[in-house]
């Protein structure tokens, strides 16, 4: 059973806000000024500081409160402000994270999540790269752990949405044969002996690579290995006894959920499984103090 299913069954349902509460809310007032379709003829110009303010006050400031994020979803914040104004190379961390949070909310509410992004699909490759780079930062503060957990959840949604071309075009590069560049040459040759045709494909990939893109391609092909190494470093910070950051536990739970889902899908498992085995991920998880703590019960079940 997935972690989010277990968690959702243990929590009471969030009551929907009333119409009067929605109308009186600060988010509704901002929406009327900047992005609501009902007031589009009187909108103020786009202001990046509004995105920053909403992220710091309504999302981070409320500790990712479902109720505040629901209000943003009701206002069509993603469809009418965040995504139309996203620009590669210019979008702030808060802008990117706000999009992540809103897409995760759509999945939580079980409503179509990718429709808004399909209106400007040309933005998605740059956005996805920004997400990948943010997910392997070295910042392990408690606040950042909440953000990192949201990023993992988004990535899981992407891998689980390979029927959507927008997602498939991005994630397939992360789990293709080319990711074996992260293996030691001896291990790679050992795998090629088991399936000789893959060596032929490997050589074909190397011939097709454009020299000017090698740095970017290499980073993408090492990405999942980098993510696993980061996870294991975080896992190693869990002590045998004493205080433990609940945000670190949730991050570890979400990470394992992502790994399980990657292993469950044939298009992602075929080459990823070898890289995961090469990182000794399962053994590191089994040896972690988290498996012996009460807080690690869900982690251990995964």
Instruction: Write out the two tokens for 157.
Output: 């949604």
Instruction: Write out the two tokens for 260.
Output: 């399980």
pLDDT, residue 7, reads 41
- pLDDT confidence bin for 1, thresholds 50/70/90: very low
- Percent of the chain at pLDDT > 90 equals 79
Burial of 22 per CB tally in 10 Å (0-12, 13-18, 19+):
middle
pLDDT, residue 12, reads 52
pLDDT, residue 116, reads 92
Query: For tokens 């059973």, what's the residue?
Result: 1
Alpha-carbon gap, residue 159 to 167, rounded angstroms: 7
pLDDT in tens, 238-282: 999 999 999 999 999 999 999 999 999 888 999 999 999 999 999
pLDDT greater than 50 at residue 5? no
- pLDDT confidence bin for 99, thresholds 50/70/90: very high
pLDDT greater than 60 at residue 9? no
Alpha-carbon gap, residue 217 to 176, rounded angstroms: 12
Alpha-carbon gap, residue 25 to 16, rounded angstroms: 13
pLDDT greater than 90 at residue 189? yes
Task: Report pTM.
Answer: 0.90
Alpha-carbon gap, residue 253 to 1, rounded angstroms: 12
CA distances, 211 to each of 1, 179, 207 (Å): 44, 17, 10
Q: H/E/C letters for each residue in 201-270?
A: HHHHHHHHCCHHHHHHHHHHHCHHHHHHHHHHHHHCCCCCCCCCCHHHHHHHHHHHHHHHHHHHCHHHHH
Whether the CA torsion 62, 66, 72, 77 is positive or negative: it is: positive
């Amino acid at each position: 059973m997935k972690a989010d299913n277990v968690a959702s069954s243990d929590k009471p349902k969030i009551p929907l806000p009333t119409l009067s509460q929605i109308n009186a809310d600060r988010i509704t007032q901002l929406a009327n000024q900047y992005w609501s379709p009902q007031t589009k003829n009187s909108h103020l110009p786009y202001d990046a500081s509004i995105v920053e303010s909403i992220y710091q006050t309504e999302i981070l400031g409320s500790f990712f409160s479902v109720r505040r994020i629901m209000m943003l979803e009701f206002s069509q914040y993603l469809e009418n402000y965040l995504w139309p104004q996203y620009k590669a190379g210019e979008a702030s961390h808060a802008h990117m994270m706000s999009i992540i949070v809103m897409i995760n909310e759509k999945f939580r509410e079980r409503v179509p999540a990718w429709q808004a992004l399909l209106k400007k699909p040309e933005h998605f490759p740059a956005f996805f790269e920004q997400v990948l780079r943010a997910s392997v930062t070295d910042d392990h503060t408690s606040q950042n752990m909440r953000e990192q957990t949201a990023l993992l959840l988004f990535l899981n949604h992407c891998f689980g949405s390979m029927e959507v071309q927008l997602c498939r075009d991005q994630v397939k590069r992360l789990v293709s044969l080319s990711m074996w560049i992260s293996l030691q040459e001896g291990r790679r040759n050992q795998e090629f002996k088991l399936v000789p045709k893959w060596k032929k494909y490997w050589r074909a990939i190397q011939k097709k690579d454009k020299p000017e893109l090698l740095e970017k391609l290499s980073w993408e092909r090492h990405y999942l290995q980098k993510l696993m190494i980061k996870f294991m470093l975080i896992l190693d910070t869990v002590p045998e006894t004493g205080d433990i950051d609940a945000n670190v536990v949730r991050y570890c739970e979400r990470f394992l959920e992502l790994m399980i889902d990657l292993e469950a899908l044939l298009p992602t498992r075929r080459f990823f499984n070898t890289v995961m085995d090469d990182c000794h991920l399962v053994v590191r998880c089994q040896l972690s103090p988290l498996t012996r703590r009460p807080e690690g019960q869900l982690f251990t079940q995964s």
